[in-house]
Structure 1
Amino acid sequence: MIEQIEKIKDITVLIYGDMMVDKYVNGTVSRISPEAPVPVLTVTDKFSKLGGAGNVIDNIVSLGASVKVIGYLGNDMEGDWAKKALTERGVDTSLLLQYEDCRTITKTRLTSKKQQFLRADEEIIKPAPKEYFDYMKRNVDKLFDGVQVAIVSDYGKGAVTEETAQLIISEAIKRNIPVFVDPKGKDYTKYKGATVCTPNMNEIRLVSGEKLETEDELRKTGEKLRKELKIDNFAVTRSEKGITLFEEGQINDFPAISKDVIDVSGAGDTVVATMACLYGCGIDLQKCCKLANLAASVVCSKFGTATLSLNELMEQIANSRQFKYVTLQNAKYIVDSLKEKGKKIVFTNGCFDMLHAGHLSSFMQAKEYGDILIVAVNSDRSVKANKGDERPIISEKYRIEMLCALEVVDYVVLMDEDNPINIISTLQPDITVKGKDWENKELPERKVVEGYGGCVKFIEMKGTLSTTNIIKKIRNE
């Protein structure tokens, strides 16, 4: 599956929807206004982010896919900023137009200590300009050129009408391009023919007119809507309950991943972006739902409308297996993600045959140099190459299991080479740890480590403890 996920870098996602600008005014509050019983915000900083469909785009870009945006903005300062911000992200904005009689929707949030206490919206809700719809029809081949998957991001601000939605869906389906819809409002007939629709619980209650208080009610209503609206699949996002997927002939639940929730803003955008990108890579919908839950757990642990990087997703995939043994390919994503968070990575390697106190001492010393300890263990083949046909005593399968059982070890990778140069070159750990017995010897990996700015540390060995000495003692006795 890792190989499939990596194809994200090769796909282009077409996105249409309500484009917005989110402004943040941050500061501190220490007094109440003498003019009215309201807090006074002493402003410390201001910044803007892409909102609405723009946040979906940010998530797609963060995951590593290419984006082609279609839609419109106001010919105003906020519209200029949004188009420039998209261009700077590498988004294809050649089909994104600006109109004098449109106003770019802007939401300004006042926050203090990561708490929002006021939001001011500047918007005029009206249908998409007829000129833009006509423009879309004239350029329909350009819209889908080079595209693998499409998203319709409806925020109920007027961009997604029945005409615009049906044009995108029908033309995409003609070209065998799947369409994901993040819906809004009571009228889902405009999404007819879509591949996947991703309402949350409030949205599906609104469109169905039902309270949906039980699992049975949700299942009956969801399947009924899927059939009546002629939408291939419903993926209902349910906060802490995860995602319920309605497919032809089956309904499946995918529980949420437990994590500290700081802010759920934009989680729905992350889910639809993740699912669309992964589905565009050829991953089936059920796996898409599982991975979307992982993605949502990450963004909900961040403040504001956050995004998810491909490195973070790969790290979550590895951690979700609840086992420390990972491939080198997956370890690379994990290390990159941890480095983005400021973690210091420590690496060591060895055969670790007949695990003993000396090994444990070396791991504990190594861990003191950083935050995360990655251990490369020699394969059976490489142990024989280095130490002779009688070794290893313990097979690689069990040596890996023992290392994974140690709390001090964070991740384990298998090393089939005779030295760790390839692994170190790939992972580029901050610190590489070797025993003191290597300090004055030729160390093949030293040049590689120092070449990328890392360093080699040498640790004390614990007395005469070694697997070789233990084997000699057993034989002599």
Structure 2
Amino acid sequence: MVIGDFMIDRYFQGDVHRISPEAPVPIFLKQDEYFVLGGASNVVSNLASAGQNVVAVSVIGRDATGDTLIAMLEDLGCNTSGVIRDIGRKTITKTRILAKNHQQLLRIDEESTERISTEDEKEIIRFVQREMARADLLILSDYAKGVLTPSVCQEAIKTAKEYDVPVFIDIKDAEIEKYAGATLLKPNRKELETAAGAPLKTKADLRGAAHSLCDICGADYVLTTLGSEGMLLIGNGIEKQINSSRREVYDVSGAGDTVISYLAACYANRMDITTSAMIANCAAGIKVTKMGTAPVSIHEVSREWCGEQSSKDLYGRTSKVLSLSELTGSLKHRPTETVVFTNGCFDILHLGHIGYLRQAASFGDILVVGVNSDASVKRLKKESRPINNEHDRTELLAALEFVDYVVLFDEDTPMELIRQIRPDVLVKGGDYTKEEVVGADLVAGDGGRVEIVPYLENHSTTDIIRKIERGDHGGDAGS
């Protein structure tokens, strides 16, 4: 669950060739316009890219920009039921005018920064109390724009404690008492100096101020981000300096959001706090090579942290087997590639499956295989099926080099998967016509196509099971 100041970044991209005759100012020729999630919504974006399910809680305006913000969050698979639309507030928008080589000429801010109303406070608190039982971790992302009032912070922390949910806070406010009771506080150097009320010139100063902040707020940990000097983790007997990786820094904006996101994602996935902080530092190193508040994907971090050849992802899972939200998040970072989708039970993987899947992969760049869950197979087949459980079936498919992603589904048909994935090519095997294939109309409506691949004769799971039941091993008696 992420509570905080949600905002959106708008970019006008273009060029400057001359000075205005009306005044000594450049004439900007706008060529492109796009939106990026910013503030606490950038935390949500990074969490989604880290393969996490997120519920967003905030107050934004009932305006066109707010509509865009909600649509972008929902496009990530985020639950936006905790986002309040207040007609008396503006959705925070930062418009940047960018010339060639991403040179920023001007920034225009539209925002409401006063504290949210008492009624909005109460509505947020009611939502948090109602939904906290479902959360694994709570993030408070404070940009000092009015959402995280002392009341909201303290009631959210209190509720999280009742459910034994850790609370990580990206702090901004000098009124640090409102953060009391958090599990972890994440200031940068300037924010730690504000909390300490004095400049912090040495490493000893930083350590002392971090310990003091821990004590004042009753936090377990303080993680201070120090830019090119890395990060300092203090708390529960830990005092660790984490050095930043040496990279060409392109843009540091949003790096703090990346840190809190990956720190929280790793900790929620049962990693210890030191490992979580080191991976967050790795993710931040990737972020600063990107322009603007661009999210960092789990695959980028997995390759960096686990190594290019690792078959496991950041959380120790086979990196090809993803949840639906993880999959859609991954595909968003590969927008120019052709996505091919097919599905099946794949109960006993055999030569017919291999040939079918290899041909399916030839129709595009990315092959996604939807696999019926155990419960789904039992409904479609019979109680004695599947022979192999869903974990074994998905892992075997993931081991095939021409399969890019594997995703389970519990429904009788893959229609919801197809609706969410929006493949360019839909592949089905057997004696179907294209019009009979589930999801064919949706794919065709998006401009995609359906391909029918014939099954290899005399190769089926049912045939294999019957041979085993007959004791027919297909070879000599001693084989």
Same fold (TM over 0.5): yes
- Residue in 2 aligned with 1:269? 257
User: Is residue 209 of structure 1 aligned with residue 197 of structure 2?
Assistant: yes
Match of 1:149 among 137, 153, 157: 137
Residue 225 of structure 1 aligns with which residue?
Answer: 213
**1:153-180 superposed Cα distances (whole Å, 9 cap, x missing partner):** 1001111111010111111011110011
The alpha carbon displacement at 1:48 in A equals 1.5
Question: Aligned pair 1:47/2:14, yes or no?
Answer: no
After TM superposition, list the pairs within 5 Å mapping 1:303-318 onto structure 2: 303-318=291-306
* 1:132 Cα deviation from its structure 2 partner: 1.5
Q: Matched residue of 1:102: which SS? A: coil
Which residue of 269, 279, 289 corresponds with 1:281? 269
The change in CA–CA distance for 1:138 and 1:185 in structure 2 (over 3 A counts) is: closer
Q: Aligned AA for 2:82?
A: L
* In 1: Cα distance, 2:267 partner to 2:182 partner: 14
Give distance in 2, aligned partners of 1:20 and 1:167.
Answer: 23
2:119 paired residue number:
131
> Counterpart of 1:103?
90
Q: Which amino acid aligns with 1:261?
A: V
Residues 314/203 of structure 1: CA separation in 2 closer, same or farther (3 Å cut): same
Against the structure 1 CA distance between its residues 77 and 58, is the aligned structure 2 distance closer, same or farther, given a 3 Å change threshold? same
Distance 2:59 2:136 in 1: 22
| Partner AA of 2:271 in structure 1 | I
- Listed one character per residue, the Cα deviations across residues 289-316 of structure 1 (whole Å, up to 9, x for unaligned) are 1101110011110101111111111111
What is the distance in 2 between the residues matched to 1:328 and 1:192?
37
CA distance in 1, matches of 2:402, 2:76: 29
CA distance in 2, matches of 1:326, 1:99: 47
- Aligned equivalents of 1:328 and 1:298: distance in 2? 19
SS at match of 2:22: coil
Whether 2:3 is the aligned partner of 1:26: answer no
- Aligned equivalents of 1:325 and 1:52: distance in 2? 34
**Corresponding residue for residue 373 of structure 1:** none
Structure 1 contact 21–105 (Cα < 8 Å) conserved: yes
Secondary structure of 1:424's aligned partner:
coil
Provide Cα deviations, 1:449-473, integer angstroms capped at 9, x if missing partner: xx9x9xxxxxxxxxxxxxxxxxxxx
In structure 2, what is the Cα distance between the partners aligned to 1:60 and 1:306? Answer: 12
1:22-421 matches, cutoff 5 A: 22-113=9-100, 114-319=102-307, 326-327=310-311, 333=319, 340=334
- The separation in 2 between residues aligned to 1:138 and 1:279, in whole angstroms, is 26
SS in 2 for 1:275: helix
Question: What does residue 401 of structure 2 align with?
Answer: 424
Structure 1 residue 24: deviation in Å?
A: 0.6
Q: Deviations over 1:377-419 (max 9, x none)?
A: xxxxxxxxxxxxxxxxxxxxxxxxxxxxxxxxxxxxxxxxxxx
- Contact 1:136–1:143 under 8 Å retained in 2: no
Indicate the residue corresponding to 1:17 in structure 2. Answer: 4
Deviation at 1:93, TM superposition (A): 1.2
Q: 1:342 to 1:261 in 2, by over 3 A?
A: farther
Task: Please report how far the alpha carbon of residue 328 of structure 1 lies from its aligned counterpart in structure 2 after TM superposition.
Answer: 6.6
Q: Contact 2:140/2:170 (CA < 8 Å) preserved in 1? A: yes
Q: CA deviation at 1:230?
A: 1.4
Pairwise CA distance, 1:203: 1.1
Q: Secondary structure of the residue that 2:213 maps to in structure 1?
A: helix
Q: Whole-Å Cα distance in 2 between the matches of residues 268 and 62 of structure 1?
A: 15
Give, in angstroms, the shift of residue 426 of structure 1.
4.9
Q: Is the 8 A contact 1:332 1:426 kept in 2?
A: no
Instruction: Count the aligned residue pairs.
Output: 338
The whole-number CA distance in structure 1 between the counterparts of 2:34 and 2:311 is: 40
Shift of 1:30: 1.6
Instruction: State how far apart, in whole Å, the 2-side matches of 1:341 and 1:94 are.
Output: 27
Say whether the 8 Å CA contact 2:125–2:156 is kept in structure 1.
no
Counterparts of 1:268 and 1:328 in 2: how far apart (Å)? Answer: 26
Aligned-partner residue type, residue 255 of structure 2: A
Corresponding letter in the other structure for 2:250: I
- Preserved contact between residue 8 and residue 35 of structure 2 (Cα < 8 Å): yes
Mapped contact 1:19–1:54 kept (Cα < 8 A): yes
Please tell me whether Structure 1 or Structure 2 has the larger radius of gyration of its CA atoms. Answer: 1
CA distance in 1, matches of 2:399, 2:111: 55
SS at match of 2:401: helix
Q: 1:104 & 1:272 partners in 2: Cα distance?
A: 23
Unmatched runs of 5 consecutive residues or more in structure 1 = 1-13, 344-419, 429-450, 454-477
Counterpart-to-counterpart distance in 1, 2:120 and 2:74: 20
Provide the residue aligned with 1:435 in structure 2.
none
- 2:477 — aligned with what? none
Please say if residues 70 and 143 of structure 1, whose CA atoms lie closer than 8 Å, have aligned partners that are also in contact. no
For residues 47 and 126 of structure 2, what CA distance do their matches in structure 1 show? Answer: 27
Gaps of 5+ in 2: 321-326, 338-396, 406-450, 454-479
Residue 299 of structure 2 contacts residue 313 of structure 2 at CA under 8 Å; is this kept in 1? no
When residues 248 and 317 of structure 1 are mapped into structure 2, their CA distance, relative to the original with a 3 A threshold, is same
Q: 1-side partners of 2:403 and 2:274: how far apart? A: 31
The verdict on how the C-alpha distance between 1:22 and 1:214 changes in structure 2, with shifts beyond 3 A counting, is: same
Shift of 1:55: 0.7
Kept in 1, the 8 Å contact 2:180–2:219? The answer is yes
- Letter of the structure 2 residue corresponding to residue 288 of structure 1: S
Q: For the residues of structure 2 that align with 1:205 and 1:192, how far apart are their CA atoms?
A: 18
Sequence identity (%): 33
* CA RMSD between the two structures: 2.8
Distance 1:425 1:300 in 2: 32
Distance 1:260 1:115 in 2: 17
Q: What letter is aligned with 2:27?
A: V
1:224 partner amino acid:
S
CA contact (8 A) 1:16 1:69 kept: yes
Cα distance, 1:287 vs structure 2: 0.3
Asked whether the 8 Å contact 2:318–2:398 carries over to 1, the reply is no
Indicate the residue corresponding to 1:359 in structure 2: none
Letter in 2 for 1:290: M
